[in-house]
Amino acid sequence: MDIKNLIEKNKDYILEMRRYFHKNPELSFEEHETTKKIAEELDKMGIKYEIPTEEPKTGVIGVIEGAKPGKTVALRADIDALNVTEQNDVEYKSVNEGKMHACGHDTHISMLLGAAKILNEVKDELCGKVYLIFQPAEEVGLGAKYMIRQGNWFEETDSIYGSHIWVGLDAGKISLEAGDRMAAADMFSIKIHGKSGHGSLPNETVDAVVVGSAVVQALQQLVSRNYSPLDSVTVTIGSFHSGNRFNIIAGEAEMTGTNRYFSREIGARIEEDMNRVIKGVCDAYGATYELDYTYILGPTINDEKASEIAIKALEKFAGPDAHSTMQKTTGGEDFSYYLEEKPGCFGFVGCRNPEVGAEYPHHNERFNVDETVLANGAGMYAQYAIDFLNEN
């Protein structure tokens, strides 16, 4: 199979699709027109697909049957955009006010559609089945579980590959190494209950501002004095609200924040550790508290064998210099839900190129990519599927 020539053949199509989806972004679980367009493109290719029957009925599950029996591989792209007002002056600028593909999911859709065209052309040489998973609502961490509930594709899947365009990596490079790649992402809120009173009589109150401030300080030491310095853990307080008047000592305070870590063992104990620290502080001040802790995403951990297949696949069409190692990131990904149950690999497709303005961070209103990398991103999807199926 001459994948390199098929990549070249379809690169204009991939670019066209990227610009279409960039111009027409939709938010999480609102991707109705995006779903319709993906379905139209699969129709043109003659690829069978299903649209979820569960509300809100966004996302697409395509399937390509190889001519020979074999295993099943799934390829996943996320499709949702963000509440960001685009500031790029480009012909394909978002036409949906306040909405933008500021994370690059438009490129993921186009790369997977490009891979679908490639795989459809070589399906007579495939040993097994390929599922094409166009997943909604990654940005809110709900889309992967939603897609897992749709039909039996996930139960059938033997391996899964996904990727993310990545401005932290130079254009032309793709990172596919095994092990920890993205962190677990938890969310929490803390309510402090003290006793309000007059600002001139603090002895008659339990000052929620003081208690909350002490909680913030104590939680900053949770990591450094409870977990190994070799583990990556962050505890972040993102908001703190208390009080409403200059001469009233506040009786209530509320904080929200997020924890990030890679170790599932840490995930199993971090809520208990936070409770212990917060309770100790509140007891010392005579306050009480409530901790509401939500586990949003687990860590994204690449399977060793799957990463090996992916790296060899990349080298086949792009050469050995195309692979680049990259530090794991404390960003979160709901692709982690797939990897909890199935072996697979999550790659990072480098797109940084200051010469074309591709240097702004993800979620920034000026975010953009070096579009020359999209063809190889599509090739990576296709070659991984081909190699996994034909080697197994």
Catalytic residue ranges? 80, 138
Q: Give the SS3 label for residue 343.
A: coil
Could you give the dihedral angle defined by the CA atoms of residues 323, 329, 334 and 336, in that order, rounded to the nearest 10 degrees?
70
CA proximity to 139, closest of 181, 108, 180, 113? 108
Contact 194, 251 (CB under 8 A): yes
Contact 246, 169 (CB under 8 A): no
Rounded CA-CA distance 229/231 in Å is: 5
Write the DSSP string, 284-313. Answer: HHT-EEEEEEEEEE--EEE-HHHHHHHHHH
Maximum distance among all alpha carbons in the chain? 83
Contact 161, 313 (CB under 8 A): no
Contact 7, 379 (CB under 8 A): yes
Rounded CA-CA distance 59/50 in Å is: 9
10 Å CB burial of residue 332 (0-12, 13-18, 19+) is buried
CA proximity to 335, closest of 150, 178, 144, 112? 144
Rounded CA-CA distance 146/153 in Å is: 12
CA angle at 340 for the pair 335 and 343, rounded to the nearest 5°? 85
Which residues fall within 8 angstroms of residue 60, CB to CB, at 6 or more apart?
A: 35, 38, 39, 42, 49, 50, 51, 132, 134
Question: What is the Cα 231 distance to its own chain's centre?
Answer: 21
HSE-up of 303 (CA within 13 Å, CB side)? 19
The H-assigned helical ranges of the chain are 3-23, 32-45, 105-121, 143-148, 153-156, 208-226, 264-285, 304-318, 336-341, 374-391
